A and B are shown apart, each in its own frame.
Chain A
């Protein structure tokens, strides 16, 4: 049946492949999972035993120490990563081969998957924990065992990957360099603004309200910023539109064959090996280096 649909490809036998290095992606996901679970275990161990009174010495020792470490480390790591991405940027981004560009689109997608993963832990898991923590104590200071993790650890972590994905796209991918992706910017800046919005939140708690209605309008600033997650749909559309142009270039000498044989998982995982890594970024041919006509032309 597919032969009828694709008569042109009936006699070609070689299936084109290219390497996607997903080791770092997998490592990041595992490392983040471990990090988040450790943070939660730390809350379990020291939330009630050391964290009920912000004026106590044990709070200072177990929670303020964590606060003082996590802020510079996480933001510092972010700045280092973004600087690294900028310094190792593609200095002639318009001459990138279609294959490399396609690969970079996959890496951008992986950045966004990691970013989404961080949003889940922040917006759902630890925010939920904050809600229930407020039911165990009187309102203390803005620094509580749940806030110290939620606002000052998980937020810097998703900023790391959100801003990271933006810098990655701008320094590696022609379309995202020639133009600023509006929706990508919204998807990164919106959740970033949650941090300054803390000012509004704490101002309100300082003057209006000592009781905790979780759905109080005071908290709605966070909600509006959370809506910006929808903007990732726009980035997805930008990616598929470019895929439409790139894929015929990359797969032009491709073969027919039963698409049902495709096993992208095995395929992708096999390409994480050291041999595959050595082969990475090897240009296919000199003639492949030609400027890509983008939409902006």
Chain B
């Protein structure tokens, strides 16, 4: 009842304040090197953004582990595939990495390679939840993918998570199973403790006992009767401890220990290195909120390639004159992570097979600043990283890593 009142009050206040939700979870507090040079997510897709309580949805996508991995981040030797949500507002049903079950962690993912994840999730707490895929790396913590708002409708109390054990027991709800048993034991122990404490607290306590003890009359404070009571209580305790243990062992004979251990999974097949990108110079115009790159692109494949997209830290700069690049944008992708004016290129014609061309690339948007991705002035390691997506006329996509040192500059004053 109280809980309902609190929730009601919270909803009212939120409504009156008319607050628009910005991106959540504090991922913007993560340093640029953690977000632009480690895990690059792409093709992230939410199968639904409106679900009911107990309704399933899927979160799929791929990621590339960048080769220019920063010193400050532990290499991906132990990795867990996860999702980030504001508390357990969703339930995890199944997760996969390259088709392998991902309930446990993975050992030694390879840098420079791609992986594909799939998560089956279920709505649990009604409301609007900001959900990200995330790759946790031991020693460095969670590196997050693009977040999307998922609206969960329905009643909180109607959520249940039934599961069947290997012993054949059908459990109604994982949230409550075994709880009454555990709480019952705790109450039993508290009852014994309360009896013992009240046996002593009912007597004169601090000052009288201390005074009596000062006079050497310990015999008044601890009587034979008290010692006897102590022996009886210890017998009760021992019976409860070992009797309880024997009973629990008899009741649950097929228990298993907690399961741990790392799995190993092969990366996706490497895509042929059709495009080679060399960054000649890179600058970030601080007041202009603009990243300018001079690149040398070599097409080593057999098809002409057009630059379609620059993506880093889940922010996407698209070449808006290339339809195939625009078609690659999933409708469920968060709009505030797609730069409005897109990518500006010095030459927009396809790069022919065998050709090496210098292309100047300009990505301008306030999002650099708002996502806090450009604190190059305060970083010890002023580098950037990202993926360049190129497309052949037949729609084939080539994903190339790019990155290198970057220099912050100020617009020349006239």
Contacts and interface: CB of A to CB of B under 8 A. Distances in A.
A44 B25 contact: no
A45 B6 contact: yes
Contacts of B10: 44-46, 49
B28 A55 contact: yes
Contacts of A41: 6, 9
B67 to A, nearest CB: 22
Interface stretch (B104-112, B165-173, B206-214, B275-283): B206-214
Interface string A223-261: 000000000000010001001100000000000000000
A53 B25 contact: yes
Contacts of A56: 22-24
B26 A54 contact: yes
A138 B28 CA distance: 10
Contact of B29 (A45, A55, A57, A211): A55
A211 B138 CA distance: 8
A83 interface: no
Contact of B24 (A45, A46, A52): A52
Contacts of A210: 30, 140-142
Contact of A53 (B23, B136, B207, B210): B23
B207 A55 contact: no
Interface residues on B, range: 20 to 34
Interface string B27-39: 1111000000000
B412 to A, nearest CB: 30
Interface string A43-77: 01110111011111110010000000000000000
Interface in A79-130: none
Contacts of B136: 211
A285 interface: no
Contacts of B150: none
Interface stretch (B11-19, B91-99, B247-255, B357-365): B11-19
B383 interface: no
Given A45-B9, A49-B10, A52-B130, A139 B86 contact: no
B84 interface: yes
A240 B206 contact: yes
A138 B14 contact: no
A33 interface: no
A37 to B, nearest CB: 10
A244 B214 CA distance: 10
A144 B25 CA distance: 11
A13 interface: no
Contacts of A2: none
A277 interface: no
B372 interface: yes
A52 B19 CA distance: 13
Interface in B182-234: 206-207, 210-211, 214
A44 B29 contact: no
A244 B213 CA distance: 12
Nearest to B23: A53
A153 to B, nearest CB: 19
B26 A140 contact: yes
A138 B19 contact: no
A135 B19 CA distance: 24
Contact of A139 (B19, B29, B207): B29
Contacts of B210: 240, 244
A54 B86 contact: no
A209 B136 CA distance: 13
A136 B86 contact: yes
A141 interface: yes
A135 B136 CA distance: 14
Given A58-B19, A135-B87, A236 B24 contact: no
Nearest to B31: A210
B372 A44 contact: no
Nearest to B13: A45
Interface in B111-144: 130, 136, 138-142, 144
A137 interface: yes
A49 B129 CA distance: 10
Contacts of A46: 10, 13
A31 B68 CA distance: 57
Interface string A188-223: 000000000000000000000111000000000000
A155 to B, nearest CB: 22
A241 to B, nearest CB: 9
A236 B140 CA distance: 47
A204 B65 CA distance: 27
11 contacts: A44-B10, A52-B130, A53-B28, A55-B29, A55-B372, A58-B17, A61-B17, A138-B84, A141-B26, A144-B26, A210-B142
Given A44-B10, A55-B372, A210-B141, 16 more contacts: A41-B6, A45-B10, A49-B13, A50-B19, A52-B24, A52-B26, A55-B22, A135-B87, A138-B29, A138-B141, A138-B144, A140-B26, A209-B141, A211-B139, A211-B141, A244-B211
Interface of A: 41, 44-46, 48-50, 52-58, 61, 135-141, 144, 209-211, 236, 240, 243-244
Interface of B: 6, 9-10, 13-14, 17, 19, 22-30, 84, 86-87, 130, 136, 138-142, 144, 206-207, 210-211, 214, 372
Nearest first, the 5 A-B pairs at minimum CB distance are: A140-B26, A210-B141, A52-B24, A45-B10, A136-B87
